[in-house]
Amino acid sequence: MSGNVWTRAANRMVAAGQVPLPVTETLIELLQTILDEEEAEFIQTFDRPSLNLQEIRERCDLDDASLQAMLDGLLHKGALMVSRSRSSGVDVYHLMPPLPGLFELTMVRGGTGEKEKRLAVLFERLFDELASLVQANYEPTMEVLKAVPPITRVVPVECEVDLKQDTVMPYEDAMKIVDKFDTFAVSHCYCRHHKDLLGNPCRVTEEKVNCLTFGRSARFMIDYGFGKEITAEEAKRILKECEDAGLVHKFFHEKNDPLRDEFAICNCCKCCCGTFDLFYRGAAPMMTYASHRAAVDGDLCTGCEVCVEKCPMEAVALDGEVARVDINRCIGCGVCAYHCPSRAMSLERTGMRSVFVPPPRRG
């Protein structure tokens, strides 16, 4: 086999995602830790990010038994996902990019062996390399990324919306979103587990098993050992515990389209979770869909600074003795309103909007 097999595999996996990661020695070492060389060669079969079984057969020379063994191995390792097409009923295999994709599926089982510890170090190094690349090319990178659609949608935690508005719509209520599905899986939070493996545990919550998937994605997570099946009631209990802890609900949608069904939710903290972590280290902007913004009733605000402490985007600060919200940084998560002891914070509906907050620029 060619010595470039790993470079080609890395390029193919990066091309399958939206994050333009550099193909570095770190990324190559990551893939070599997860895959064997035959699997790396096979990955190049995916000239498109998603292929059905017949399309894969047409692109490789493996017999049926060998092909099935290859696919099963890659599915269990998290390099592929499979889902059944609603329109055709055919199984479709999806190549996982390094981020998001491979990172999550290699951390989500909560393993603590030498392999997982090695992967945690390599992913951390990869994130640092991404930050260095972005900082060195800050302006052109921001211009390119402004044209990239977000991959998450923030749904506010359960709290009062400004009383001048209508009640919260179903798609804005995490509990009602759960009611749309009949299959649920819970897994380790891959981001917190990554930090645990690095000896840097979460400062917000000790709860680690609170990543949820729904429907077809939940079935995949259950079938391949990435998660445990739970009931809708258990899913809602986990969401409530996350709200009490001050975590942000971030939903993922099919094909990254907020008009399509949700398939997973991350419950995010500022200190561990990937989107916030990459933002604060200067590696990526905060990009998400949102439908609310925080607002302050100055007559009720006591200046207690709970909102300042809780806001994951550092969008709230005291102006004298009254909290003020930087609406350009607010992602409408509702954590401030949920935890405000004087009920001075509320959420105003903006309608669905795309939030883009550039990361800090390092000197």
Residue in this structure with the two tokens 């997982």, named with its chain if needed: 116
Per-residue confidence (pLDDT) for residue 173, from 0 to 100: 85
Kind of pairing between the strands at 91-95 and 50-52? antiparallel
Average pLDDT value for the chain: 92
C-beta separation of 231 from 246 below 8 A: no
Domain that holds residue 71: 5-107
Pair 144, 274 in one domain: yes
Q: Residue 87 pLDDT more than 80?
A: no
Give the count of domains, the chain: 2
Average confidence (pLDDT) over 288-292: 94
121 within a domain of the structure (yes/no): no
C-alpha count within 13 angstroms, C-beta hemisphere, residue 23: 14
Q: Do residues 103 and 149 both lie within one domain? A: no
Neighbours of 108 (CB within 10 A): 23
The reply to whether 46 and 147 lie within a common domain is: no
Interatomic CA distance for residues 310 and 92, integer angstroms: 41
Please, what sign has the CA dihedral across residues 198, 202, 208, 214?
Answer: negative
Calpha distance 321→302 (Å, rounded): 7
**172 and 305 within one domain:** yes
What would you measure as the largest C-alpha separation in the chain, in angstroms? 73
Q: Identify which of 151, 201, 186 has the alpha carbon closest to the alpha carbon of residue 355.
A: 151
Residues 304 and 176 in one domain: yes
Do 146 and 294 sit in the same domain of this protein?
Answer: yes
- Please tell me the predicted confidence (pLDDT) of residue 162: 47
Question: Mind listing the pLDDT tens digit for each residue in 145-189?
Answer: 999 899 999 999 875 554 444 554 555 788 999 999 999 999 999
- Residue 224 belongs to some domain of the structure: yes
Q: Same domain, yes or no, for 198 and 244?
A: yes
Average pLDDT for 198-216: 94
Q: Per-residue pLDDT tens for 18-33?
A: 887 889 999 999 999 9
pLDDT higher than 90, residue 360? yes
Q: Whole-prediction pTM value?
A: 0.90
- pLDDT of 1 reads 42
SS3 content of the chain, % helix, strand, coil (to 5): 40, 20, 40
Residue 135 domain flag:
no
**Same domain for 336 and 221:** yes
Strand ranges for 137-210 from DSSP E: 153-155, 184-187
Q: What are phi and psi of 164, to 5 degrees?
A: -75, -10
On whether residue 158 sits in a domain, the answer given is yes
323 and 230 belong to one structural domain: yes
- Statement to judge: residues 103 and 169 lie in one domain: no
Provide CB contacts within 8 A for 207, sequence distance 6+: 241, 242, 245
Which residues are within 8 A (CB) of 95 and not within 5 positions of it... i.e. 6 or more apart? 12, 13, 16, 43, 46, 49, 50, 79, 80
pLDDT tens string 209-250: 999 999 999 999 999 999 999 999 999 999 999 999 999 999
